[in-house]
């Protein structure tokens, strides 16, 4: 049996860097594990890989007969399609507990922190393994990304302390400056096909039998969407029909104004009122202070569908 570590579908920086950092740790303690991914790196992730001189992990979608560690989620919907034919060896995550289960004992490191890489740093400390400089730099970037440069309500003191320690190892003087550089890369949306933007950071959730797709684009200034907002909204309609979804939401998050413009199509016209007590006008609503899909969008929707 070959063992792999893989993050969620449509991987973000946490999933890609988490797989690399976790595989290095496991190999360092004598357990061969191969880092893998379920999709292409985003421009932000590619920026991180290039900056620290790493290749993207192995692209691999089928895991039947393999051993698998899952990082950055615990949901069947976000896992490899044939995960039920693999042996689940462990889960390293920072989200709500999902519906993955196992037939054999497994290793679980799940903490309510802002980033999987913060949990992986705890694992390095537990095993007394030094983090290589370039891996530390990538882990720092993943934390800056997931916590939106510490602004997200998901950010904890553990994440901030972890970034301080990683900055020391990686010799990074200005982690917040590096975070801003990353979000500027993320904000360059001009010229990208509409569907690619909608699906850049997109997750399907099973909410009490209803398929709900939620995408998020985090930028430093929402004006980058002015010319394409109507096209984005039109594509949500198409995506809803294609996937047999109950609802499709796209969060356009302004990390400086610290809020999100929500674009949505739904079978339920009063979805935003039920979830956030805000009326959507023409499929749009401004959600002030909302930066986190995990903490400020998914639980509220789940309550509506419960």
List residues near Mn ion by CB under 5 A. 12, 14, 72, 116, 146
Nearer CB in complex with Mn ion: 160/228: 160
The Cα 263–Cα 200 span in angstroms is 15
Question: What residues form DSSP beta bridges with 110?
Answer: 93
Q: Are 58 and 70 in contact (CB under 8 A)?
A: no
Give the torsion sign (CA, 24, 27, 31, 36).
Answer: positive
**In the complex, what is the shortest distance from the CB of residue 8 to Mn ion, in angstroms, rounded to a whole number?**
6
Nearer CB in complex with Mn ion: 29/97: 97
Nearer CB in complex with Mn ion: 14/261: 14
**Which residue in 223, 188, 225, 152 sits closest to 42, CA to CA?**
188
Nearer CB in complex with Mn ion: 14/235: 14
Give the torsion sign (CA, 143, 147, 150, 155).
Answer: negative
The Cα 123–Cα 92 span in angstroms is 10
Nearest residue to Mn ion on Cβ basis: 14
Nearer CB in complex with Mn ion: 93/272: 93
The Cα 14–Cα 144 span in angstroms is 10
**In the complex, what is the shortest distance from the CB of residue 15 to Mn ion, in angstroms, rounded to a whole number?**
5
**In the complex, what is the shortest distance from the CB of residue 278 to Mn ion, in angstroms, rounded to a whole number?**
26
**In the complex, what is the shortest distance from the CB of residue 79 to Mn ion, in angstroms, rounded to a whole number?**
13
**In the complex, what is the shortest distance from the CB of residue 282 to Mn ion, in angstroms, rounded to a whole number?**
30
């Amino acid at each position: 049996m070959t063992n792999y570590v893989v993050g969620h579908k449509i991987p973000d920086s946490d999933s890609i860097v988490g797989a690399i950092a976790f595989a290095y740790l496991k190999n360092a303690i004598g357990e061969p594990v191969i880092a893998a991914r379920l999709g292409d790196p985003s421009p932000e992730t590619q920026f991180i890989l290039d900056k620290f001189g790493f290749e993207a992990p192995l692209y691999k979608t089928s895991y039947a007969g393999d051993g698998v560690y899952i990082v950055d989620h615990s949901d069947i919907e976000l896992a490899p399609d044939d995960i039920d034919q693999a042996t689940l060896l462990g889960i390293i995550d920072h989200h709500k507990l999902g519906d993955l289960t196992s037939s054999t004992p497994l290793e679980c490191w799940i903490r309510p922190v802002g980033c999987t890489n913060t949990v992986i740093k705890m694992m390095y400390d537990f095993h007394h393994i030094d983090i290589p400089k370039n891996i530390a730099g990538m882990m720092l970037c993943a934390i800056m990304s997931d916590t939106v440069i510490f602004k997200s309500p998901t950010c904890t003191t553990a994440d901030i302390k972890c970034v301080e320690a990683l900055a020391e190892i990686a010799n990074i003087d200005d982690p917040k400056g590096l975070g801003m550089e990353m979000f500027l890369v993320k904000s360059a949306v001009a010229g990208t096909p509409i569907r690619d933007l909608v699906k850049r950071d997109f997750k399907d959730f099973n909410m009490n039998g209803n398929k709900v797709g939620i995408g998020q684009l985090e930028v430093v200034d929402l004006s980058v969407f002015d010319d394409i907002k109507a096209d984005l909204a039109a594509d949500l309609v198409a995506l809803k029909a294609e996937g047999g979804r109950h609802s499709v939401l796209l969060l356009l998050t302004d990390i400086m104004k610290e809020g999100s413009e929500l674009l949505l199509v739904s079978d339920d016209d009063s979805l935003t009122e039920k979830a956030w007590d805000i009326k959507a006008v023409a499929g749009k609503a401004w959600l002030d202070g909302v930066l986190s899909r995990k903490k400020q969008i998914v639980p509220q929707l789940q309550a509506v569908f419960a």
